[in-house]
């Protein structure tokens, strides 16, 4: 498949370790300040018990995806959702305020200026996530792993804890439809994989980056279609979405990397056969992708240098067909494991 396994965490100097400690402190300070941006809409925080599994989400205009997203993670085992709405005008706020297991804040502050929402989610993790297993997600991400049909998050976190692991890494896998983007039908509450049936099995490449030791995993469908001319600009696909949180932890770049740096060793990427891992099914390419891409082009909130990605949005808005001769059909995580894209946890530890 052309995949290259990541190397172990590189050693760093005392000076580099010192700078990373100060970087983590600066990030935590940003999260602390960002709490002032958040205005409560409906809080149900008294529902968070000591063993609760939490999900932390920042969103804007996701009324189409939210019904299935919430039900999916409820079935998986999330006990409470901590959600920040960033100025939705499509009914998302009313929908979420009516959910008995959601605590909701709203802000109209800049998504880009808060490290693309990381400062907001970081504050919620710091304030409410300490000591809990926490999922940090986008609404277009569905976590799956081998054995998910029988073993939810409660079992998964039990196995991870038994092995001394503080988190669970996952590869973000782009799912896409057959035919031109935007021409399919999708209804709220429907499983997105009914519409998004295809994915690329490879090629993928992974390297470790110094000094943080974070994985940099790229490749797949979006690179093949949108970034052939400059693969280095293609999306980063490695994530650490599930972590037993400590208030001293900080995400540095989406959920791609964490501090302290040792946490980045929790995920080894494709073919990391010694480490359990999952897949985040990325449902970006539902029919609304054309309208969302047009809006993102105007808002310029999703990249450090939006001008570099103008061609990307233009290519999406041209409604290409991502299907090709080597497209694989998604039919569950077992196929993904057989392709080397994830690794089953040791379920034998469940009594």
Most confident range (mean pLDDT) of 10-14, 89-93, 299-303 is 89-93
Q: Which of 11-25, 87-101, 301-315 has the weakest average pLDDT?
A: 301-315
**pLDDT band, very low/low/confident/very high, at 3 (cuts 50, 70, 90):** very low
Question: Taking residues 242-261, what's their average pLDDT?
Answer: 97
pLDDT for residue 1 is more than 70: no
pLDDT for residue 34 is more than 50: yes
| Ramachandran region, residue 229 (left: φ > 0; alpha: ψ -120 to 50; beta: rest) | alpha
- Phi, psi dihedrals of residue 131, rounded to the nearest 5°: 85, -5
Question: What's the token pair of residue 255?
Answer: 């959920």
What are the C-alpha distances in Å from 39 to residues 28, 86, 87, 120?
A: 20, 11, 11, 11
**Residue for token pair 């995920």:** 267
Cα angle vertex 318, ends 312, 321, to 5°? Answer: 95
- Phi, psi dihedrals of residue 251, rounded to the nearest 5°: -75, 140
Question: What's the token pair of residue 215?
Answer: 């994985």
pLDDT at 24: 98
Contacts of 241 (CB under 8 A, 6+ apart): 135, 136, 137, 141, 143, 168, 170, 255, 280
- Residue 313 CB-half CA count within 13 A: 18
Question: What's the token pair of residue 53?
Answer: 């599994």
pLDDT at 313: 83
Q: Residue 144 is inside which H or E element, if any?
A: strand 141-144
pLDDT at 291: 86
DSSP 8-state class, residue 343: B
Question: Taking residues 123-138, what's their average pLDDT?
Answer: 98
pLDDT at 350: 87
pLDDT at 270: 84
The answer to whether the CB of 101 falls within 8 A of the CB of 79 is yes
| Ramachandran region, residue 340 (left: φ > 0; alpha: ψ -120 to 50; beta: rest) | left
pLDDT at 308: 64
Distance CA 7, CA 23 (A): 24
The answer to whether the CB of 243 falls within 8 A of the CB of 249 is yes
Question: Taking residues 36-59, what's their average pLDDT?
Answer: 98
Distance CA 275, CA 292 (A): 36
pLDDT for residue 102 is more than 50: yes
Question: What's the token pair of residue 107?
Answer: 């802000």
Please list the alpha-helical segments (H only) found in the chain: 14-34, 66-76, 92-97, 118-128, 153-162, 220-226, 289-299, 310-317, 333-338
pLDDT for residue 4 is more than 50: no
Question: What's the token pair of residue 193?
Answer: 């994989």
pLDDT for residue 229 is more than 70: yes
Question: Residue 8 burial by CB count (10 A; 0-12/13-18/19+): exposed, middle or buried?
Answer: exposed
The answer to whether the CB of 60 falls within 8 A of the CB of 34 is no
Contacts of 207 (CB under 8 A, 6+ apart): 4, 6, 7, 215, 216
pLDDT for residue 126 is more than 60: yes
Distance CA 127, CA 6 (A): 33
Radius of gyration of the chain (CA): 19
| Ramachandran region, residue 332 (left: φ > 0; alpha: ψ -120 to 50; beta: rest) | left
């Amino acid at each position: 498949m052309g995949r290259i396994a990541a190397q172990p965490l590189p050693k760093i100097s005392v000076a580099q370790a010192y700078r990373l400690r100060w970087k983590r402190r600066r990030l935590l300070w940003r999260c602390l300040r960002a709490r002032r941006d958040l205005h409560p809409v409906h809080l149900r925080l008294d529902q968070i018990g000591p063993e609760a599994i939490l999900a932390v989400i920042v969103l804007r205009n996701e009324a189409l995806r939210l019904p299935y997203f919430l039900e999916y993670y409820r079935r998986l085992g999330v006990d409470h959702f901590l959600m920040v709405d960033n100025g939705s005008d499509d009914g998302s706020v009313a929908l979420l305020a009516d959910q008995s297991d959601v605590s909701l804040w709203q802000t109209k502050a800049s998504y880009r200026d808060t490290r693309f929402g990381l400062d907001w989610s970081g504050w919620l993790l710091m304030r409410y996530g300490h000591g809990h297993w926490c999922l940090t997600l986008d609404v277009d991400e569905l976590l799956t792993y081998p054995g998910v049909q029988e073993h939810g998050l409660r079992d998964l976190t039990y196995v991870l804890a038994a092995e001394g692991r503080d988190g669970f890494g996952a590869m973000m896998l782009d799912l896409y439809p057959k035919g031109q983007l935007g021409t399919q039908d999708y209804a709220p509450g429907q499983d997105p994989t009914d519409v998004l049936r295809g994915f690329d099995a490879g090629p993928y490449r992974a390297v470790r980056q110094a000094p943080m030791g974070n994985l940099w995993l790229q490749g797949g469908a979006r690179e093949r279609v949108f970034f052939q001319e400059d693969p280095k600009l293609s999306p980063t696909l490695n994530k650490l979405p599930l972590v037993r949180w400590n208030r001293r932890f900080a995400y540095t770049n989406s959920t791609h990397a964490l501090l302290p740096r040792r946490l980045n060793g929790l995920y080894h990427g494709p073919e990391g056969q010694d480490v359990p891992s999952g897949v985040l099914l990325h449902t970006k390419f539902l029919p609304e992708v054309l309208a969302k891409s047009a809006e993102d082009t105007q808002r310029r909130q999703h990249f450090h240098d939006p001008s570099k990605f103008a061609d990307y949005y233009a290519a999406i808005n041209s409604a290409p067909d991502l299907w090709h001769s080597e497209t694989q059909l998604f039919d569950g995580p077992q196929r993904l494991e057989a392709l080397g894209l994830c690794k089953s946890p040791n379920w034998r530890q469940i009594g």
